[in-house]
Each structure stands twice: as C-alpha cells, then as structure tokens.
C-alpha cells in the first residue's frame, strides 16, 4: 500500500532566529515524561530546525499562529531556511549575484519582510554521484568561488545538510555532510544554497502555552522545534 504524505508549506512569517543542527543519534525528551533519550533509527541521527518567530501583529486578520498550533500531531512541513550566517548565499549580501530571481519583499508593501521571494533559486550542482547514506560528495562551484565553508547549510531536494568538512580542487568542492544523504544523487543534481527542511513540530505544548489574543492581535510564539521527517 502506498502512503501519500501531506506536506504543508510553512507560511511566510517574519522570523526572529533560526538554527539548523544535527544533535546525533538521540532526541532529548523522546516519548516519555521522564526525559528519556530515544535513539533515532536513522544513521547519523536526524536533523533539527529550531525557530523563533518574530512578533506577529496581524493575528486577527490572518491567524497563522493558531493554525500552526493545530499542526502539532505529526503534520509535515516544508520550510525554506531564512537569512542566517548558516547560509552561504547571504554572505555580505554580495553573493546574490548567484541568484536568478533576486527580488526583495520590500517596496513598502504590507508583506514587506526585507527578504527575497521564496522562489529565490541560489544553487550549484553535484559533480559525480553519491549513494543514499553517503556523507561525502563533490559539488561543482562554477565561477562562484570558494563560498562554502565549515558550518554552512546546503540542501538537496527537501533535505538540509550541514557541512562538516570542505576542500577545494579547482572549481570543485569536496564536502562532508551531516546527516548522511537521504537520497542518492546523480551528476548535475541541484544543491540549494537557500535550502529546504522537511520536519514536524516536536514541542507543540510549549507553543500552545504562548497564545494570547489580548494584545490587539499581537502574538509572540515560543520557540518552535522541528524534527526531521524522512519520506
């Protein structure tokens, strides 16, 4: 039997902070109230995305915050990582010459968040092949130079990977990633410099505790933790 997973696009909301990390083979607080450490069945463990939304001022008109709180029962989100030092595409803003659709959400419109459109396509490509579960791959950087460094986060498909090691041979970057590749990649596969993360909310109760409709529609949600979902 084929299971078709519903994947929700994470709404475009202002974000105060965001961190992608790979804590290893365990998730704190697993499935028990006693803080048990539950081992992940995935090699290298699963990745985690922590996010803190900015103060939301339009909850009366667009109750996205309460909508998110209704998606804490395993609903899967596709989230495009936002502007942080983890993304090479934002270094000093100068690397936007590698983005094909660089149009900022500014112009004083109500949806202004001073960040590029969600379809910004900053990318390079895989050079050669790598199997599912591999941690090493080569990336063709073309004329972009040696912009990928330790700690940067890249994406292949809807999964994000942090760079643990990188060395350059000409225009090719040989990198070691964590977690291991979730799918096999072929020569020419796209490597996103503004990557996507696929995950489910892991701390629903913590989020719900912060909902207060008494501030004229102003809502400040607590930290949201997404655990990686592998499909």
Which carries the bigger pLDDT value, residue 122 or residue 19? 19
Best-predicted range by mean pLDDT among 90-94, 113-117, 125-129?
A: 125-129
- Cα dist from 142 to 115, 163, 207, 209, 224, whole Å: 25, 19, 43, 48, 36
How high does pLDDT run on average in the chain? 78
**Highest mean pLDDT pick, 100-114, 126-140, 204-218:** 126-140
Domain residue extents for the chain = 1-81+196-231, 87-194
| C-alpha to C-alpha distance for 82 and 98, rounded to whole angstroms | 17
Separation between Cα atoms, residue 210 and residue 231, nearest integer Å = 31
Q: What pLDDT was estimated at residue 67?
A: 83
CA distances from 138 to 112, 119, 128, 150, 183 (A): 37, 25, 7, 15, 15
DSSP letter string, 79-131: EE--SSTT-GGGGGGGGGGG-TT--BS-TT-TT--SSB-TT---EEEE-S-B-
DSSP alpha helix (H) spans, the chain: 64-69, 204-208
Decide: 197 and 205 in contact? Cβ < 8 Å: no
The reported pLDDT for the residue numbered 9 is 87
* pLDDT band of 108, cuts 50, 70, 90: very low
SS3 of residue 8 by DSSP: strand
Cα 29 to its chain centre, rounded Å, is 22
- Measured distance CA(8)–CA(5) in Å, rounded: 10
Q: Please, what sign has the CA dihedral across residues 32, 70, 5, 52? A: negative
CATH fold group of domain 87-194? Elongation Factor Tu (Ef-tu); domain 3 (2.40.30)
How much is the average pLDDT of 106-126?
56
- Can the peptide bond before residue 179 be classed as cis, meaning omega within 30 degrees of 0? yes
Q: How much is the pLDDT for 123?
A: 83
Give the C-alpha separation, 89 to 45, whole Å.
26
pLDDT at residue 63 greater than cutoff 90: no
Q: How confident is the model at residue 4 (pLDDT cuts 50, 70, 90)?
A: low
pLDDT at residue 151 tops 50? yes
Assigned CATH topology for domain 1-81+196-231: Phosphorylase Kinase; domain 1 (3.30.200)
Mean pLDDT lowest for which of 5-14, 78-87, 179-188? Answer: 5-14
Tokens of 193: 């410099």
pLDDT digits (tens, 9 = 90+) for 74-88: 889 999 898 788 988
Tell me the pTM: 0.79
């Amino acid at each position: 039997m084929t299971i078709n997973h519903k994947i929700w696009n994470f709404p475009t909301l202002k974000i105060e902070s965001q961190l992608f990390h790979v804590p290893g083979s365990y998730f704190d607080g697993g499935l028990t109230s006693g803080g048990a450490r539950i081992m992940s069945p995935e090699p290298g463990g699963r990745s985690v995305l922590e996010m803190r939304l900015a103060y939301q001022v339009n909850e009366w008109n667009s109750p996205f915050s309460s909508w998110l709180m209704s998606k804490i029962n395993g609903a899967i989100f596709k989230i495009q990582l936002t502007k942080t030092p983890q993304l090479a595409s934002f270094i000093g803003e100068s690397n936007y010459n590698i983005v094909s659709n660089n149009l900022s959400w500014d112009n004083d419109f109500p949806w202004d968040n001073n960040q590029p459109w969600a379809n910004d396509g900053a990318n390079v490509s895989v050079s050669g092949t790598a199997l599912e579960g591999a941690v090493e791959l080569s990336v063709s950087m073309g004329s972009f130079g040696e912009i990928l460094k330790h700690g940067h986060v890249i994406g292949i498909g809807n999964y994000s990977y942090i760079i643990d090691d990188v060395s350059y041979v000409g225009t090719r970057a040989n990198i070691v990633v964590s977690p291991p590749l979730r799918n096999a990649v072929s020569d020419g596969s796209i490597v996103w410099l503004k990557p996507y993360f696929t995950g489910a909310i892991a701390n629903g109760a913590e989020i719900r505790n912060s909902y207060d409709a008494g501030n004229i529609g102003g809502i400040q949600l607590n930290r949201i933790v997404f655990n990686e979902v592998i499909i």
